[in-house]
Chain A
Amino acid sequence: MQVYAFAIATLIVGFVAGIIGQRSGLCLIGGYRDYYLFKDTYLLKGALAFILAAILGYTILAITGTIFATGTFPWAFYKGLSAIPGTIVKTTTLESSYLVAAIGGFGVGFFSALAGGCPFRQHIMASEGSKGSIAYVIGWWIGVPITYAIIYALGLLA
């Protein structure tokens, strides 16, 4: 029963994010791009407000003791320079986790800017009926097992 609470909670957060994203045009990639191109801070404020609000939320959880993994926030304080788990690439050393983060970050930023928006924005535009974004979303969903297959074939899967 508990597990369904989790499913419902993620559904609600996603639903709210979908409504808000449609109403505001929030895009994390677009913020940096627009500031660089036009010195326009409209979307950049959204990206920075997202981070600040998340810091606030995690601080509330840490103070009230309801954070899932206790003794992890702030990460740099408890775990030092180690990486927060999540990458699917095998990282054996600390240096390799930095290298993987740099490669992944650069690739996501580069190709998202070429595609014209962050993945969230593309999902919102797809739900508005943009045909290009619908193709992007299909590529995104099909790309997940493809990506795993490539990294597995390279022998790099964690």
Chain B
Amino acid sequence: MREKALHNVMKTTILLNKNINSKLEEESPLKESEKRPVFPRLKAWQAGFIVGLSAALIQAVYNIMPKTVEGVKAYSIGPVAYGFCMFCHVRDFVNWFLKGSIPWLKVAPISAVVPVLSVVGVLVGGSLTAIAAKDFSFRKTTNPVSSFIYGVLVVFFAAVLGACPWRLSLRVAYFGVVAFVGWIFLILGVLVATKFILKRGGG
């Protein structure tokens, strides 16, 4: 029974994180000339290392940022471990885009002046690479309605945490004790959810 559930989860996982290698095998009947162009693939640890290092080093750019914006003190001690965040940078971009027109969207004043563009960079870089590597195709994966709800739920808890998993990792690397506790609970949440999926028989 457990094996069957595990098999189901494995199937869902593969469906969700569609591995490019497995797609390569599907497309192998194609002629040699029609095969995807050779595009260097990275191992996850190499990717993690490069992104982690650049997300930490970008912190140096804050040195040249103005300490005050239109007379308002921008930061008291600086945005610490702020190099890369899917939540904070989206929020700051939204705030810049709306020119602070939502009164309850209280964010750092700097974001009203400067657009924080990292998430735009992720979307542009990701889609350009996907098109170049012939990975781009509109495909149905998970139920869009439940995915939409998951998006709203995760962003809610990310706001409570004040970080997405990436900035949380940056904070752990900054040796924040509270962040470490959050990180332990994040892993716990993943384990509980995985157990839940296993019990449900792989959604």
Contacts from B to A (Cβ < 8 Å):
6, 9-10, 12-13, 16-20, 39-66, 75, 77-81, 83-84, 86-91, 94, 102, 104-106, 110, 113-130, 133, 135-145, 147-179, 181-194, 196-198
- Chain B positions within 8 Å of A101 at CB level: 161, 178-179, 181-182, 185
- Chain A positions within 8 Å of B170 at CB level: 54
Is B119 a contact of A37 with CB atoms below 8 Å? no
Q: Kindly state the separation between the CA atoms of A28 and B190 in the bound complex, as whole angstroms.
A: 11
- Chain B positions within 8 Å of A126 at CB level: 123, 126
Is A116 a contact of B142 with CB atoms below 8 Å? yes
Is A22 a contact of B135 with CB atoms below 8 Å? yes
Given contacts A11-B121, A13-B118, A128-B135, contact A109 B51 (CB under 8 A): no
- Chain B positions within 8 Å of A43 at CB level: 44
Given contacts A45-B45, A148-B102, contact A52 B147 (CB under 8 A): no
Q: Is the interface of B mostly helix, strand, loop or mixed?
A: helix
Q: What 13 additional pairs, Cβ within 8 angstroms, besides A43-B44, A111-B154, A135-B147?
A: A3-B65, A8-B117, A23-B129, A24-B42, A25-B17, A36-B191, A57-B56, A57-B57, A105-B186, A127-B123, A129-B136, A132-B141, A134-B144
A-B contact pairs, 30 of them (CB 8 A): A6-B65, A12-B121, A13-B54, A17-B54, A17-B118, A17-B121, A36-B191, A36-B194, A56-B53, A57-B53, A68-B59, A69-B80, A72-B77, A75-B176, A81-B178, A87-B160, A101-B182, A105-B183, A105-B186, A106-B186, A112-B189, A113-B197, A117-B17, A131-B144, A132-B147, A135-B144, A136-B151, A140-B154, A143-B156, A157-B106
Chain B residue with Cβ nearest A82: B178
- A9-68 at interface with B (beta carbon < 8 Å): 9-34, 36-38, 42-43, 45-58, 60-61, 66-68
Q: Kindly state the separation between the CA atoms of A100 and B60 in the bound complex, as whole angstroms.
A: 29
Closest Cβ of chain B to A146, distance in Å, is 7
Chain A residue with Cβ nearest B161: A104
Q: Is the interface of A mostly helix, strand, loop or mixed?
A: helix
Is B141 a contact of A131 with CB atoms below 8 Å? yes
Is A145 a contact of B43 with CB atoms below 8 Å? no
Closest Cβ of chain A to B196, distance in Å, is 8
- Chain A positions within 8 Å of B156 at CB level: 107, 143, 146-147, 150
Residue in A8, A77, A108, A132 whose Cβ sees the most chain B Cβ within 10 Å: A108
Closest Cβ of chain B to A123, distance in Å, is 5
Is B54 a contact of A102 with CB atoms below 8 Å? no
Q: Name the 5 nearest CB pairs between A and B, nearest first.
A: A14-B121, A57-B56, A18-B125, A109-B189, A139-B151
Q: Kindly state the separation between the CA atoms of A95 and B127 in the bound complex, as whole angstroms.
A: 43
Q: Kindly state the separation between the CA atoms of A62 and B144 in the bound complex, as whole angstroms.
A: 44
